[in-house]
């Protein structure tokens, strides 16, 4: 009985995991539920706002991990945005040293996000909003991580 309670307490006290789709202008953010089973869109912020947003979020919610999408070409070589993502990851590690950072493959997430918006019935005008695409891309990055790496 004690083991069951102990495991349940651990599960309920877990921090959230943040998924990050880092772009040239905007950063899509997604967050897991407290049990780290599902990813939901959180916000899209500008590159300049992301650090302040994360500081405020972490002050309000415990965060155990950052999952950052890493851009690669089909042949597995880093894409044009990879140096920016690498610099951002270095910045994350310095700014939030207690929160580990994991890189995740983000190939096709923008295309999958756009298709998800179509499948979800979003009108054409709403699909043009790149901030929505960025948030959904972050959800896809995080959800794949959760499916492959959690309890």
- Homologous superfamily (CATH) for 15-149: YqgF/RNase H-like domain (3.30.420.140)
pLDDT band for 1, please (50, 70, 90 cuts): very low
What is the three-state SS of 33-79? CCCCCCEEEEEEEECCCHHHHHHHHHHHCCEEEEEEEECECCCCCEC
Closest CA to 59 of 99, 30, 5: 99
User: Is residue 114's pLDDT more than 80?
Assistant: no
Q: What is the pLDDT of residue 63?
A: 96
pLDDT tens, position by position, 12-63: 447 899 999 999 999 999 999 989 999 999 999 999 999 999 999 999 999 9
| pTM for the full predicted model | 0.80
């Amino acid at each position: 009985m004690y083991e069951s309670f102990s495991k349940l307490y651990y599960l309920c006290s877990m921090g959230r995991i943040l998924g990050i789709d880092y772009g040239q202008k905007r950063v899509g953010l997604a967050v897991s539920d407290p049990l780290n089973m599902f990813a939901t869109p959180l916000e899209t912020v500008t590159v300049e706002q992301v650090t302040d947003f994360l500081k405020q979020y972490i002050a309000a919610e415990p965060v155990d991990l950052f999952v950052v999408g890493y851009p690669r070409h089909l042949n597995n070589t880093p894409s044009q945005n990879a140096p920016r993502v690498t610099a951002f990851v270095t910045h994350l590690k310095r700014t939030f040293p207690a929160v580990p950072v994991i890189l995740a493959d983000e190939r096709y997430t923008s295309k999958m996000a756009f298709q998800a918006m179509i499948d979800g019935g979003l009108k054409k005008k709403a699909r043009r909003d790149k901030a929505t695409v960025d948030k959904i891309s972050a959800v896809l990055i995080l959800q794949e991580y959760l499916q492959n790496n959690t309890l």
